[in-house]
Structure 1
Amino acid sequence: MLLKNLLEGLDYQLVSGDVNREIGKICYDNRKVSKDDLFVCVKGFSVDGHTFAEKATENGATVVVCEDEVKVLEGVTVIKVDNTRRALAKIASNYYGNPSKKLKVIGITGTNGKTTSSYIIRDVLTKAGNKVGLIGTIANYIGDKKFKTERTTPESLELQELFKQMVDEGANYCVMEVSSHALALDRVYDVEFDYAIFTNLTRDHLDMHKTFEEYYKAKFKLFKMANNCIINIDDDYGKRIIEDLEEDKKSKNIVTISLKQDADYTAENILLGAMKSEFDTKGKKYEMEIPGLYNVYNSLGCIAVCDLLKLSYEKINAALKEATVPGRCQRVGKSHNLDFTIIVDYAHTPDGLENILSTVKQVTKGRVIAVFGCGGNRDTVKRPQMGEIATRIADIAIVTSDNPRKEEPALIIEDILKGIKDKDNCITIENRYDAIKKAIELAKSEDSVVIAGKGHEDYQILKDETIHFDDREVVEEILQNRNEV
């Protein structure tokens, strides 16, 4: 493709060379560069792509896009921009033919609820006869075709390529989780969002954003980009989003959801069961096989989007009834005829842990036994908070490892224990397998075991390696071994 076409819509300065030259592909990793490629110098957290510009040209790049001065081989075209991350997003969009403009893109952001909401909306749209792409934490999909995901929202180059694949395979919708990282790092810059949902905002990712204000500002970006904004106004930050969108209200459709106050969509006659929920909104009854009041919030946002898309009540409710999300309040070990319940959930934030434990507590006749930990090299402030929550709600809390990464697991556990005043109902078992086994051994008739933190993940990140570890598989193995004894 001709370079000047790739630069269309981009404010840039031509430092050297010619824009009338053909480009092979786009790269931001100099190790992937080959003949006639364009290299974008992206500044990362630990490395700066500008330092690899010369190496990229030695590998064959004939165009370098940069923010700062760079050293390159003679004859290379150098394009200077104010922000290379935004430039990468724009160039990638042009390279793949601006594919997001050929899809209806539905973005979901918030601390909790993104994955559940995305699966519900995908299921509704699919039942309505659409081919749907999904981008998120668990996996990426185009229709039934599954692709492994490395992060919740891909880097802009890979994201635009995925959009192009969706268009090529006949998808007309894309439902995507939009992380705060992606928004802060402009991975979704130049994406045309038709709809955006705000679920909630609680403590998470402050290892990157540093302050809650910065975390909020990252999330808010999505609603400046979207045409239709669906906002949970029971969250104080949802109210703030609406206030901060004041100057855009004439050009946007803002729809509110609430369980506590007047809103466009409210839930009434709420019935919360052990593994299901029912509620009415706008005079119609909805049912779902996902428990918890927080999932009523998630469902309201999905219903609002689907209503805006003119989908029928019958299709929306049918999809809600059958909605399942891997690793989100997922019941496991059902084939073993247990007289107690085992649930695996991704809850890895204070709010998420409180939600799942409170939900399970409400419907458990016996005791709640919680297994949880905290990730290493992440926000340390939430560790004692999660310790306090687990021991306050659960009858027995087993503190263990999550993904310790470069930290010592024992030191992470120490941080968690600082939030626990009464340790009488607390057990510490560093090895996660052993912790899960202990919880199952302790479980009696009508108890519930909640294994929190990793959900759908099938790995554990240790200091020097990443190993295969799936809480759901571990439960099955422990139960199988128990039955064989």
Structure 2
Amino acid sequence: MKLSRILKEVKINSIYRTGAKTIKKGGFRKNSNYDPDISSLHYRAQDVQPGGLFVAIPGLFADGHDFIDQARMRGALAIVSQKPVQSDHSVTENISQTKAKQIKNDLTVIEVDNSRKTLAMISAAFFQNPSEKLNIIGITGTNGKTTTAYLIESILSAAGLKTGVIGTINYRYLGKVFENPVTTPESLDLQKILDTMQKEGVTHVVLEVSSHAIDLFRVENCFIDTGVFTNLTQDHLDYHGDMDSYWFCKKRLFTEYLPSGRKKDRAVAVINRENAKGRELFEILPVRGISTGNSADNMIRPKKIEHGLNGIAGNVLTPSGSFDFKSPLVGKHNIENILSAIGAGIALDLSLDHIKAGIENLFYIPGRLERIAGNNGCFVYVDYAHTPDALSNVLGSLKAISQKKIICVFGCGGDRDK
């Protein structure tokens, strides 16, 4: 793909060649050497292929700008940088003469204000905007993202829709399962996954959207049809610094991304109003909203709910009518997750029969109050809870439905908060 096409929507500060005695700046010209064909995109210098474009992004522990020379040595034709690249090929200190002799190709350098945001934009362009051809359901919140994603996946599958999921546990589609090192992949990886899913016949994708992904522009130019907010409680203060910054980041999915994307005219937000921040968010939504919660002023609310060690059962009222359901999921907090998934189904205009079947077909979520075989009639559960609110929800839910002693074995990886 021509470099000019990849960069069509990018705000460019300057374009120049590092090999010229006089650095030339300016835009693209027809039949110009400044507009090479780009065969691949990369943000890790060690992965660069000949004819590729390398985007130098600042990371949490390393800066891609320090590896521009490595990218060039591996055959990069172009570099996107938010720092000036000197004509001696180094973005920082001069390189050695031996190393300079190894580097033969001149680079086309594109300077931008934000290379991370640019990576997301050019990745979408390179893969021809796969999110435009898919129905994307984006879920964010401190807790409940994974459970809600599994529920929505089950509902979509019950409706006969070919579904993909990208989340904390893995990414998967059409019977294929792949490891996912982070909840929301880097923008280039995300767009590549979406492109593959779309080409293999997937029509709907459920995407867990972390606060890191929003802050680091990983979901920039990933156009979302339905946004789902589960809740906001303490987490990731090691990254965001304080709860106000964390909250500001989370709500951007609804206040910035949904109303400004190419699907803004049909975007819908599903908001859990049982959470205080959910109630606040619902009041300022710039797109159509669907509220969930226990009170009568919510569009989707439970009626006659019973929950115990064997699961949840009851009736749910929706704008499309009401229905009874039974779910083997355990815990009061899972009622909120079920309501959020129902909200997504309503937003997608699915039938209540398919929504009900999807809820009842999901027997467990890995590591989310997942029941395992116990001896002597004991109920044993494994849960991923690692935040104060999540652990409180798990223990509180079990305490409310257990008549005997609860034994908790708890550990965490650390480095999540100050």
TM-score of the pair, normalised by structure 2? 0.86
Among candidates 301, 323, 329, match of residue 340 of structure 2:
301
- Conserved? CA contact 1:51–1:70, under 8 Å: no
| 1:225 and 2:253 are equivalent in the alignment | no
Letter of the structure 1 residue corresponding to residue 302 of structure 2 = A
- 1:46 to partner: Cα distance: 1.8
Name which of structure 1's ranges 166-175 and 355-364 shifts more when overlaid on structure 2.
355-364
More helix by share: 1
Q: Separation in 1 of the partners of 2:193 and 2:337?
A: 26
Aligned partner of residue 117 in structure 1, secondary structure: helix
After TM superposition, list the pairs within 5 Å mapping 1:306-455 onto structure 2: 306-323=345-362, 324-334=364-374, 337-380=375-418
- Count of aligned positions: 373
| 1:142 and 2:173 are equivalent in the alignment | yes
Aligned to 2:199: 168
- Conserved? CA contact 1:104–1:172, under 8 Å: yes
Q: Separation in 1 of the partners of 2:401 and 2:279?
A: 31
Which whole-Å deviations, capped at 9, do the CAs of 1:212-236 have from their partners, x for residues lacking one?
Answer: 1111111112113221101112212
Q: Separation in 2 of the partners of 1:25 and 1:203?
A: 39
Aligned to 1:130: 161
Which whole-Å deviations, capped at 9, do the CAs of 1:448-475 have from their partners, x for residues lacking one?
Answer: xxxxxxxxxxxxxxxxxxxxxxxxxxxx
Q: Separation in 2 of the partners of 1:102 and 1:176?
A: 15
Letter of the structure 2 residue corresponding to residue 55 of structure 1 = Q
- 1:261 to partner: Cα distance: 4.9
Q: Separation in 2 of the partners of 1:304 and 1:88?
A: 32
| Greater relative contact order (CA < 8 Å, ≥ 6 in sequence) | 2
Q: Which runs of 4+ in 1 moved over 6 A?
A: none
Which whole-Å deviations, capped at 9, do the CAs of 1:240-298 have from their partners, x for residues lacking one?
Answer: 223443xx2xxx21111111351111112111121211232223222211122211111
Letter of the structure 2 residue corresponding to residue 242 of structure 1 = F
Q: Separation in 1 of the partners of 2:361 and 2:49?
A: 48
Aligned to 1:421: none
- Conserved? CA contact 1:289–1:322, under 8 Å: no
Q: Separation in 1 of the partners of 2:257 and 2:34?
A: 30
Q: Separation in 2 of the partners of 1:125 and 1:242?
A: 25
| 1:192 and 2:192 are equivalent in the alignment | no
Aligned partner of residue 160 in structure 2, secondary structure: coil
Q: Separation in 2 of the partners of 1:278 and 1:370?
A: 26
Q: Separation in 1 of the partners of 2:73 and 2:284?
A: 47
Aligned partner of residue 216 in structure 1, secondary structure: helix
Q: Separation in 1 of the partners of 2:412 and 2:316?
A: 37
- What RMSD, in angstroms, separates the aligned Cα atoms of the two structures? 1.5
Aligned to 2:81: 66
Q: Separation in 2 of the partners of 1:19 and 1:304?
A: 50
Name stretches of at least 5 consecutive residues in structure 1 with no aligned partner: 381-485
After TM superposition, list the pairs within 5 Å mapping 1:43-192 onto structure 2: 43-71=58-86, 72=89, 75-192=106-223
Aligned-residue sequence identity (percent) comes to 37
Q: Separation in 1 of the partners of 2:36 and 2:270?
A: 44
